[in-house]
Structure 1
């Protein structure tokens, strides 16, 4: 993309309402525009990152064996009355009455809808296990929306729902999602720690939050330092095999949010292994038995002819929230530092003299070759001053910058900058392109 043809409304100063780093940088980098409290328009740069994160989440859900569907964001209130949650959920639920006086709601989650889908089409134990997932916009009317996408009212969420005939199957489904989540966060450049968590209004007895450590986190968290370095399964993980050793490796070590913290158990750890910090929740998984299937009649026929309610679990990842979490974990004073897996553009090409024919030819060459290699470069072909160009590229956080000017070209070199480290080196244009594309 040529910057002269792109929509990138960069701000020199962050609005005063931005309280944390990710909110400030997303606004300054022109990634989003606040339309109302906790409600945002996604601008081109932010949307590109959002779609890349969504793709990683989807790939790992598919790899685990989950099947994608798309459920509505506006849901009938009657389904929630069946489960007993309509009156119990509270003011976070946005309740709506349509023109026919039918009571509706903007879904904060989708257990009721997916249970209705299941009970309509699935009749036999032979059709299980099953895991259906959905990537859809949700709405929760937060009392005090703040911190940008970290606590907005409208957010993009991946929610998956498993259905099994017995507890053993339900535990296998839980383990699959546990491992899929570990893989997802690793691909996003995050170290996420699974922590035993309260089940809250979702229900059930088994639940884990996935937490990344960050000074701006809302929750106090406590964990064993060893959890920061445990290996995450690779692409060859067998999701149909026994995943309990992987899960046990993580869950056997101490990790808890403040709600579940056991001071005595934490104190039993050697002092050098105790980590007490702030954390950001980036995912939450639950196994809640028949909480929804029983009241809503989601049953399957068993081999002996009897019918029994299925055992369910739900598994959520805040896709839009992850953007804020990645920025909180990966930034410096100059701006965002994107992991290559989700960077909006793979590299930036900066022309220091757009009016110089040799510089323009070199930039065009770099732009064409990077594009052909699948790096999706952003080419700054504008007439802005060099200092402004450098500041903008650092702010939006592209992994690589190739800086091309007349003086360097005369010496046969360009400047190659690695955003993550700030390292710069003078190399030939061919070498710079090779470096940037070697992992493409």
Structure 2
């Protein structure tokens, strides 16, 4: 593509609402443009990247034996009402009515629709296993769309659904998809971890996320430094050292005046007591009940695990007014001693002897508090894992915390949807049984931004070869006829060898061209100028090389072969 003919509207300033590198660089590089909150145009460069992500996903899904279909984006309400998700999804659904008053919505995900296909078309165990997938636009009314393509209201997603005769067979399908996902993320050149995860509103049992590691990631994950254990912190668990045999004598419980000292940090300093000797008490509501969650002072509450311990879908941190009503004290002075409601205590907190904690009285704390003698509660694993915690999966390993961006998610759904919607098959004995399902999603458009979050610097994007809109950014310096002729020859021959080339043929200063090349982020920059040609060379510089002086001189006669070989090697060809 000739730069002079291309729509590449680069800008110097970051968008006012940009909060991360990918949003900034996609807009500055002319890859996308905002239409509305969480909605974007893909301009030519952006669409080329999107299509490359899509192609990798499609090739590996086909390779795994999955079959591509396409389901509507506009869906009748009746299917979600069958499974209860019409109400469960709440305001997340874009709802609308047709001219006859019929209820519809834009699909945020397609479990019900694909299950309807299964109940109509799958009759016998001989029809199974089967895996159907689509690459389709999805719509979710995010309350706070942000991060450019990372959290939009319209996005492109690959969702696949497996159908099997049993849970055991479903795990075989799950493993096939796991391997396919690993190939997908490997081919994209992304550094990632597969981590145990929570299935969320989609439901199911076995669940794993493919987290692309990035400092800007909104998800926190932990991974063992010794074994392969990795999990989203929302569901990660840790070992708890058994302290039941501690010989520490029980102290007398005392009330201490702690004026205007309500945080663990401040009370720890005030009482000269380490945070791990505190009981941190947080008040939550389940919608109808008020509960107190107690963790050690140096730990935080894992709200998903707390909800599971309580047998509810979700918990909410109580308002200041609710805390005052439940404890009789201002926020910062809650504690389990004398609390009238339900108390859930983390395993580590339950083992703390002679603890300090809020006294349920403003400006007062207790010291010398012990579970069983002074208070009690239901013991559960309700704290967030963090760096340094012992691994729950091996001896001697410790967890390390990473930031990640969810690029893919795989589930075993079981019969959640098939049973609700009557998707049955006849087994060898002609007995009707519900089909066992799995669900496998990849955020196709999200991966465009995710790749940038992992591959950027102060000057711009650094695309992996497999995702770059063009493999080579050809820059010509000067107007000499021999420069143009040499560039034209290299441009044509590279394209014949399957190399995507963007030729910056504009009448611009070298500094402008180089700055744009760094911003756009093609993997290889090739510079052709009269001075280099006089010596029989062109200049080749990988985008990953930060030093502008470390460009490599390549003989003109070898240039096409050298460049094509590097591109094909990076693509695994």
**TM-based fold match above 0.5:** yes
Q: Spell out the pairing of 1:378-417 with structure 2 (5 A cutoff).
A: 378-417=502-541
**Equivalent residue, structure 2, for 1:360:** 484
Separation in structure 2 between the aligned mates of residue 292 and residue 276 of structure 1, nearest angstrom: 35
Q: Spell out the pairing of 1:184-223 with structure 2 (5 A cutoff).
A: 184-223=184-223
**Equivalent residue, structure 2, for 1:97:** 97
Separation in structure 2 between the aligned mates of residue 215 and residue 271 of structure 1, nearest angstrom: 27
Separation in structure 2 between the aligned mates of residue 316 and residue 126 of structure 1, nearest angstrom: 26
1:350 aligns with 2:501: no
Which of residues 415, 431, 434 in structure 1 aligns to 2:558?
Answer: 431
Q: Structure 1 residue 291: deviation in Å?
A: 0.6
Runs of at least 5 residues in structure 2 that lack an aligned partner in the other structure: 241-384, 569-573
Separation in structure 2 between the aligned mates of residue 430 and residue 37 of structure 1, nearest angstrom: 51
CA offsets per residue over residues 366-423 of structure 1, 9 Å max, x none? 1111111111200111101111100111111111111011111112111111112244
Given that 2:197 and 2:232 are in contact with CA atoms closer than 8 Å, whether structure 1 keeps it comes out as yes
Separation in structure 1 between the aligned mates of residue 72 and residue 97 of structure 2, nearest angstrom: 16
Q: Spell out the pairing of 1:139-154 with structure 2 (5 A cutoff).
A: 139-154=139-154
| Residues 47-56 or 192-201, more deviating | 192-201
**Aligned partner of residue 295 in structure 1, secondary structure:** helix
**Equivalent residue, structure 2, for 1:373:** 497
CA offsets per residue over residues 120-175 of structure 1, 9 Å max, x none? 11111100000000100001111100001111111100000000011111110111
Given that 1:220 and 1:276 are in contact with CA atoms closer than 8 Å, whether structure 2 keeps it comes out as yes
User: Scaled by the length of structure 2, what TM-score is found?
Assistant: 0.71
Separation in structure 1 between the aligned mates of residue 193 and residue 204 of structure 2, nearest angstrom: 21
Q: Structure 1 residue 100: deviation in Å?
A: 1.9
Given that 2:390 and 2:399 are in contact with CA atoms closer than 8 Å, whether structure 1 keeps it comes out as no
1:321 aligns with 2:443: no
Q: Spell out the pairing of 1:240-389 with structure 2 (5 A cutoff).
A: 253-264=228-239, 267-269=389-391, 274-353=399-478, 355-389=479-513
Separation in structure 2 between the aligned mates of residue 377 and residue 433 of structure 1, nearest angstrom: 12
Given that 2:390 and 2:398 are in contact with CA atoms closer than 8 Å, whether structure 1 keeps it comes out as no
Q: 1:290 to 1:272 in 2, by over 3 A?
A: closer
Separation in structure 2 between the aligned mates of residue 42 and residue 271 of structure 1, nearest angstrom: 49
Q: Structure 1 residue 261: deviation in Å?
A: 2.1
Separation in structure 1 between the aligned mates of residue 507 and residue 403 of structure 2, nearest angstrom: 43
Q: Structure 1 residue 224: deviation in Å?
A: 1.9
Given that 2:161 and 2:437 are in contact with CA atoms closer than 8 Å, whether structure 1 keeps it comes out as yes
C-alpha RMSD over aligned residues? 1.5
Given that 1:402 and 1:432 are in contact with CA atoms closer than 8 Å, whether structure 2 keeps it comes out as no
**Equivalent residue, structure 2, for 1:231:** none
Separation in structure 2 between the aligned mates of residue 386 and residue 421 of structure 1, nearest angstrom: 18
Given that 2:138 and 2:157 are in contact with CA atoms closer than 8 Å, whether structure 1 keeps it comes out as yes
Separation in structure 2 between the aligned mates of residue 380 and residue 305 of structure 1, nearest angstrom: 67
Q: 1:2 to 1:111 in 2, by over 3 A?
A: same
CA offsets per residue over residues 27-80 of structure 1, 9 Å max, x none? 111010010000001000000000000000011111111110011111111011
User: Scaled by the length of structure 1, what TM-score is found?
Assistant: 0.91
**Aligned partner of residue 86 in structure 1, secondary structure:** helix
Q: Structure 1 residue 274: deviation in Å?
A: 3.3
**Aligned partner of residue 35 in structure 2, secondary structure:** strand
**Aligned partner of residue 131 in structure 1, secondary structure:** strand
